[in-house]
A = this chain, B = another copy of it.
């Protein structure tokens, strides 16, 4: 048990393995949901790519963030990093089977969003048009 959340849940009598699952779920969702991971996985879903190609395809990403994202994904075993000792150097990134299965799972959410995007957009419009409309104090994403 590592986190405050974990101890809290444990004190409330939640089963340990369930607690572990909840932590890991949040952890993995945080990874998937962060600013660049989803796009990177999506781009890699169409095939292996080298660093520079990814840097172009993921559009607004900085080299630093691409590097970090790829290392995190590699650490989780979702992506493989293959360096070819050539001149000039070439490094290829590809989804592992695990990465592809995650990509498939994410597709579920993607489809949910596709199905309900109009609802969400409408709800946001409606909310923002309301009297108070505290959009200023909303999280930035």
The docked-state distance in angstroms from the alpha carbon of A30 to that of B96 is 23
**Main SS at interface, chain A:** helix
A123 at the interface (CB under 8 A from B): yes
Structural contact, A26 and B38, CB atoms closer than 8 A: yes
Among the listed B9, B68, B77, B109, which residue makes an inter-chain contact with A139, where contact means beta carbons less than 8 Å apart? B68
Residues of chain B within 8 A (CB-CB) of A90 are none
Interface, chain A (partner B; CB < 8 A): 3-5, 8-9, 20-22, 24-35, 38-39, 42, 59-60, 68-69, 71-72, 74-77, 98, 101-102, 105-106, 108-114, 116-117, 119-124, 126-128, 134-135, 137-139, 141
Structural contact, B139 and A24, CB atoms closer than 8 A: no
Structural contact, B21 and A114, CB atoms closer than 8 A: yes
